[in-house]
Amino acid sequence: MNTSTESHLTALAAAERRSGVSWAAIFAGAAGAAALSLILVLLGFGLGFSAVSPWPGDGVSAKGLGISTIVWLAATQIIASGLGGYLAGRLRVKWASVHGDEVYFRDTAHGFLAWAVATLVTATLMVGVASHNVGAGVKAGTEVVAGAAGGITSAATATAGTAGSSPYDYFVDTLFRSDSALAVNEDAGEAAVTRIMVRTLSNDGQLSPEDRAYVAQLVSQRTNLTPAQAEQRVDTVFAQARQAMDDAKRAAREAADAASKAAAVSALWMFIALLCGAFFASLAATYGGRRRDAVILSDDLVSARVH
């Protein structure tokens, strides 16, 4: 009798000194959750790419794709985290002589820790690649639209640019302007006008009176228009170029704003999906822990038959 009491006290003391964390079960659950999450995410990528079409009017719309992506990510978190939490609860060691409330708390903590480890592992493996791809796509889309804003000046610079060209070519041109008839060839005249356009559009977009008169003189010489008609054409063309520049800048700002809002919405829904994953991992761990405690070992069966 004394021996039995002493053995019981020894077992209680050992249980008190033993940590309540079963890291083996946590890592096992995290590995299962991370692997299943990876599989489901890859499946979602495959389904998403198969539903998208480059042709207008075909395939799922951008809004539909966004909604389906959010739903799939939430489902992935719930399923994978639930599996990881269940494994962590079912595979942990049995806590003898521990109150039921403490067992419930430990199971919940094991599910949460398994979800946390799996999330960190998945983030390390996938978030870097995914964020790079998404960021590259958003950056490319923004640069395409923003490139239109610089398209005029870039194309003009490419037209005017020659070997050894520099930002001071515009000022060099002004040194050799004359009020008499211009004796310039076609390429030199176009290059001079291009440099004037580049400088004007890159600043405030307002053509100075001196540049306007000079460009009108070149246009009149090349097109046989009267000076008044040449000035009118210069004003019209520069107004069109300035309008195109303003439209391109406006489109770039709208694209950047849309990308920012989309990123904010995606981050919010990802936060909600992760919370759902943490909740279901903890819930599944408590269920798995109860199933673990309900298991009757073979030694217990033998003892029950003997008595």
Please name the residue that has the structure tokens 């890291």.
23
Structure tokens at 286: 């408590």
What was the pLDDT predicted at 31? 94
Q: What pLDDT is stored for residue 211 in this prediction? A: 82
Q: What is the mean pLDDT of residues 65-73?
A: 85
CA 113 to chain centre: 26
223 found inside a domain: yes
Residue 197 lies in a domain: yes
Q: Cα–Cα distance between 32 and 85 in angstroms, integer?
A: 9
Residue 78 lies in a domain: no
Question: How confident is the model over 134-186, as pLDDT tens digits?
Answer: 555 555 555 544 554 455 445 444 444 444 456 666 666 665 566 655 555 66
Number of domains composing the chain: 1
Residue 194 within a domain: yes
pLDDT of 10 reads 59
pLDDT at position 33, please?
A: 94
Domain range enclosing 183: 158-249
* pLDDT at position 161: 46
With contact defined as beta carbons under 8 Å apart, do 35 and 114 qualify? no
In-domain check, residue 175:
yes
**What is the structure's pLDDT at 160?**
43
Q: What is the DSSP secondary-structure string of 112-162? A: HHHHHHHHHHHIIIIIHHHHHHHHHHHHHHHHHHHHHHHHHHHHHHHHH--
Distance, CA of 196 to CA of 206 (rounded, Å): 11
Please return the burial class of 140, using the count of CB atoms within 10 Å of its CB with bins 0-12, 13-18 and 19+. Answer: exposed
pLDDT at 14: 53
**Which of the four pLDDT bands, split at 50, 70 and 90, describes residue 255?**
confident
pTM of the prediction? 0.61
Confidence at residue 84, expressed as pLDDT on a 0 to 100 scale: 94
Q: Looking at this protein, which amino acid is placed at residue 44? A: G
β-partners of residue 59 are 52
Q: Is residue 221 included in any domain, yes or no? A: yes
Cβ atoms of 286 and 112 closer than 8 Å: no
